[in-house]
Amino acid sequence: MHLSFTPLDWVVLFTFLALLVFFLNPKLERNRLWTATVTPLASIIGSGYLVSAPLLYFAVKDYAFLAMAGIVILAYLVGEAIRFNILYSEPIIYNPQSGLHKFLFEVERFSNLTLSFAYIISVAFYLRLLSSFIFSGFFHRDWLLENLLTTAILLFIGISGFIRGLDFLEFLEKYAVAIKLSVIFTFLTTLAIYDIQTHYQVRWEYKPITLETLQILAGIFLIVQGFETSKYLGEKYTPAERVKSMKLAQLISGFIYISFIFLVTPLLYLLDKTKLDETAVIMLAAAISVVMGFLIKTGPLMSQFSAAVADTIGSGGLINVETHGKISSRTGYLLVTLIDVVLIWSLNIFEIIAYASKAFAFYYLLQTVIATAVALHKRKWAYFLLFLLLIPVLAFITIFGKSAE
Each residue's pLDDT, cut to its tens digit, for the chain (405 residues) gives 455 678 888 999 999 999 999 999 988 888 999 999 998 998 888 767 777 888 888 888 888 899 999 999 999 999 999 999 999 998 888 777 766 778 888 899 999 999 999 999 988 888 888 888 787 766 777 888 989 999 999 999 999 999 988 888 888 888 889 999 999 999 999 999 988 888 676 667 777 888 888 888 888 888 888 899 999 888 889 999 999 999 999 999 999 999 999 998 888 776 655 555 556 677 788 888 888 888 887 877 888 888 888 888 888 888 888 888 888 899 999 999 999 999 999 988 777 778 888 899 999 999 999 999 999 999 999 999 999 999 999 999 999 887 655
* Cα 87 from chain centroid (whole Å): 23
Q: What is the CATH number of the domain that holds 360?
A: 1.20.1740.10
- Is there a domain that residue 21 lies in? yes
Taking phi first (over 0 means left), then psi (-120 to 50 degrees means alpha), and beta for anything else, what does residue 165 get? Answer: left
- Is there a domain that residue 395 lies in? yes
78 in Cβ contact with 368 (< 8 Å): yes
- Is there a domain that residue 245 lies in? yes
* Cβ density class 361-374: b for 16+ within 10 Å, e for less: bbbbbbbbbbbbbb
Give me the pLDDT at residue 325, please.
Answer: 83
Total domain count for the chain? 1
For the CA atoms of 306, 309, 314, 318, the dihedral, rounded to the nearest 10 degrees, stands at: 170
Which residue type does 207 have? K
Give me the pLDDT at residue 1, please.
Answer: 44
For the chain, how many residues are written?
405
pTM: 0.90
201 closest CA partner among 261, 265, 284, 258: 265
Domain hosting 344: range is 7-400
- Is there a domain that residue 168 lies in? yes
Give me the pLDDT at residue 77, please.
Answer: 97
- Is there a domain that residue 128 lies in? yes
- Is there a domain that residue 12 lies in? yes
- Is there a domain that residue 244 lies in? yes
- Is there a domain that residue 2 lies in? no
